Amino acid sequence: MTGARAPGAAEDGGQAADGRVDAVLAAMTVEEKAGQVNQRLHGWRAVERDRRGAFRLTGYAREEIDRWGGLGALYGLFRADAWSGRSWANGIRPEERAEAAAAVQEAVAAADRHGVGTLLVEEAPHGHQALGGTLLPVNLAVAAAWRPESLADAARGVGAELAASGVHVALVSALDILRDPRWGRGEECYGEDPLLAAELTRAVVEGMQGEARSRVGDGGVAVVLKHLAAQGEAVGGRNGQSAHLGPHDLAEIHLPPVEAGLRAGALGFMAAYNDIDGVPCCANHDLLTAYLRGRHGFDGIVMADGLAVDRLAGTTGDLPGAARAALLAGVDLSLWDESFAGLAALAAADAQVAAALDVACRRVLTLKDRLGLLGDPGRPVRPDAARSLARLTAARRSTGAASRRLAAESLVLLRNARREDGGATLPFDAARLRSVTVVGPHADDVPALLGDYVPPLPAGAGRGVAEALRAALPGAETTAGEAFDDVGAAAFAGADAVVVVIGGTSHRSYDAAFADNGAVAARAGEATGGEGVDLADVSLPAGQDDLMRAVRAATDAPVAAVVVSGRPHVLTGALEHCDAVLWAGYPGPYGGEAVADALLGEAEPTGRLPMTLPRHPAAVPVRYNDRQSAADVYRDAPEPVLLPFGFGLGYRDVAVTGLDVTVRPDSPAEVVVTVTAANRSGRPSDPVIPVFAHRTGGTRTPRIRELLAFGRVTVGPGATAAITFTLPAERVFADLADPGAPTAVTELYVEGLTRTIRPARG
């Protein structure tokens, strides 16, 4: 698979571009080539302000540029967070980005005799991790919206923000599949299903790069998707550890998002920390070369995860061996590693390394040419600072609106008990509320809404749940506190409604300790999620079940729980003690307002769970698409599933009333599924319609269920509407291509309706 070349990057055609790259490569020394495949610096340490306040390069950066006579890539120039130590007091502000980027490129141009600029690489897992970068809900929350088009719109804005800042490459979390809730990085996953993750991966790539790479270098950026591959399968949910799975599960569960990224034209992939069947991903030739390039024709770059190449020394015995193994496997660009710095010496003594270095360097130069970084020696292009800021401001406005929409669409209603008068607990009737009590560790906690990999927000930005309710209910008294005693028993007894805000947090404080790759060194009382925070017990953090029990005993008012979380916690207590439960993921800076709108009926929560919720903390992992059911296996937890993948309630009375299926024997063979939904309420709704299947008849143990298709359909008040899916037969039936397989039979499931189908005989 090859993608269209970005406008402006090679307007004279691919052949001329190849000629430019070949000419530069032929003129380079082996040291210069090695410099192009190294990305060793922490970018936030690369610039400083002089006495006049202008940006200049630090000695740390100049030493690296002089070492190679140029610079391959610079990671995290604008990164601002607790690990980098950059904040609104000392970091690069949005209006300063163009100047800082220009200072770097001018220094590189002065040193590089070939006129090769440096790739500016930034973290953008759910928004740019920079001061003023617009944040989106985390991936797990985005997945709960089941709306790829909303993500594409938001990603388009993030890409525009990055491009306006002078950034070339965005590192984007998308490929990991949530297979174990104990893993701290579950929030970076688009859920536990490969089809849902694949559709969202396609959306984020096309949003940032444009369709067929049309916006790369022209209002968009190149995307490096991470992490390749199967990192979510790590044993015990332990970050970066071995993935124990065979080729079928690798292909069916973990590679669909990769292949969606390939089809969308992603220009890069990041090799993961973990090993698969003992082979580290960064040294896996079958994965990085045979699979990506040989089978799928990938023409971009492969980047290593941070310090992942150096970690191979535990396998190879030393750093030179680590560098050689990664390079020959197909890694083109390192990240902070020392081992790749020795490639020039290795190439001088090893013809195989020398040839592989030429290949990797050529790939990096080809990407740079696409982005306009092969220029005239000594003549960098200085952007127009005023124009860059205007473009950035417009992009931030657009991204903010998209983030707000995603926050609202991602909310999942898990419980909504009936009141004595027959109505539902939610939405609360705002006109009748005179006293509202909000309690819980995240009652008014804005950072807890954001997730991991985020910069500090500007002062006053974002509203917590309690503050958002105060703003929405100016005529009511809203009392808020983190603990029961902070609020007081009287506030619960006299409340018209109580909201308990529970869950976890991935917030990193500026006094926290960090590992060498930026993951938090977790300690009790700090973050309960995110990179470096794997948990053996996925119950709600200590005391939260007791809090809900105490609140229930203290009031007769309706109690609604809001779950702020980046992993599947055990919510058994929440469903037991609260009249309504709203799952909010980490919904981003607009999450507090989205939650308030949902609680008060200004918006309907229409999201669905992108993962399975366990009933018991020791009954994990449990996934809806496992091959064997865990029900009635554990004698102390006979039903391990609390709520299944795809579960979600709504406020409107909408039901699926029809399921029609046609199996076509034509070439290509297809299955056409039409689902009809009826809205019996007086307001419109746009429910998610998922189509599940149980496929039998193949030669492998079938999965309990699989997601075949999904979409949303808008249904007017008192009306019906239909949505049609046209699916290739090989997706619907098991092992259809195997003439020796038994006859395939598939059970389709859509909201309680079932159809049994078989392949058509042409």
pLDDT at 556: 94
- Interval 622-647 mean pLDDT: 94
Residues 225 and 285 in one domain: yes
Whether residue 239 is contained in a domain is answered as yes
**Helix, strand, coil: what percent of the chain each, to 5?**
35, 20, 45
For residues 631-651, average pLDDT: 94
Q: Are residues 344 and 465 in the same domain?
A: no
Same domain, 477 and 616: yes
> Are 605 and 639 part of one and the same domain?
yes
CATH code of the domain containing 533: 3.40.50.1700
| 340 & 295 share domain | yes
Q: Is the pLDDT of residue 3 over 50?
A: no
pLDDT at 140 over 80: yes
Task: Give domain status of residue 402, yes or no.
Answer: no
Q: What is the dihedral of CA 110, 111, 112, 118, to 10 degrees?
A: -80
404 part of a folded domain: no
Q: What is the CATH number of the domain that holds 722?
A: 2.60.40.10
Name the token pair of 22.
């070949």
Single-letter code of the amino acid located at 394: A
183 and 49 in a common domain? yes
Same domain, 572 and 469: yes
pLDDT band at 2 (very low <50, low <70, confident <90, very high): very low
pLDDT interval class at 7 (50, 70, 90)? very low
Per the rule left: phi > 0, alpha: psi between -120 and 50, beta: everything else, 412 is beta
The arithmetic mean of pLDDT across residues 109-138, rounded, is 96
297/428 same-domain check: no
Kindly report the average pLDDT of the chain as a whole number.
93
pLDDT band at 516, cuts 50/70/90?
A: confident
Rounded CA separation 243/239 (Å): 10
Domain stop point among 643, 664, 692: 643
Pair 630, 661 in one domain: no
Mean pLDDT of 272-279: 95
Average pLDDT over residues 723-752: 87
- Percent of the chain scoring above 70 in pLDDT: 96
The tokens describing 506, both together, are: 């991935």
Domain boundary among 622, 643, 664: 643
Across 397-422, average pLDDT: 94
Residue 522 has pLDDT above 80, yes or no: no
Q: What per-residue confidence (pLDDT) applies to 8? A: 36
Q: Tokens at residue 504, please?
A: 């976890």
Q: How confident is the model at residue 10 (pLDDT cuts 50, 70, 90)?
A: very low
- Could you tell me which of 462, 431, 368, 467 has the C-alpha nearest to residue 121? 368
Domain total for the chain?
A: 3
Q: For residue 316, is pLDDT > 90?
A: yes
Please tell me the least confidently modeled range out of 18-22, 303-307, 428-432, 664-668: 664-668
- 56 part of a folded domain: yes
Q: Is the pLDDT of residue 9 over 60?
A: no
Average pLDDT over residues 91-105: 95
pLDDT of residue 385: 79
Residue 739, pLDDT score: 65
Q: Are strands 268-271 and 301-304 parallel, antiparallel or unpaired?
A: parallel
Q: Which residues, other chains included, contact 314 with Cβ-Cβ below 8 Å and sequence gap of 6+?
A: none
Residue 703 gets the label, from left (phi > 0), alpha (psi -120 to 50) or beta, of beta
What would the pLDDT profile of 525-555 be if each residue is shown by its tens digit?
A: 578 999 989 999 999 998 999 999 999 999 9
- Do residues 363 and 425 both lie within one domain? no
Q: Which domain holds residue 714?
A: 654-757
Task: Tell whether 399 is covered by a domain.
Answer: no
Residue 550 included in any domain = yes
Last residue of a domain, one of 643, 672, 695: 643
Whether 762 maps to a domain, the answer reads no
Residues 553-607: tens digit of each pLDDT? 999 999 999 999 999 999 999 999 999 999 999 999 999 999 999 999 999 999 9
Tell me: do 289 and 426 sit in the same domain.
no
Tokens of 271: 């090799």
In the predicted structure, residue 12 carries a pLDDT above the cut 50? no
- Number of Cβ within 10 Å of residue 615's Cβ equals 19
Kindly state whether residue 4 falls inside one of the protein's structural domains.
no
pLDDT score of 218 more than 80 = yes
* Lowest-pLDDT choice from 121-135, 196-210, 740-754: 740-754
**419 in the same domain as 370:** no
- Is the pLDDT at 524 greater than 60, yes or no? no
Q: Is the pLDDT of residue 625 over 90?
A: yes
What does the H/E/C string look like for 622-684? CCCCCCCCCCCCECCECCCEEECCCCCECCCCEEEEEEEEEEECCCCCEEEEEEEEEECCCCC
Q: Which of 272-286, 441-455, 723-737 has the lowest mean pLDDT?
A: 723-737
Q: Domain of 119: which CATH number?
A: 3.20.20.300
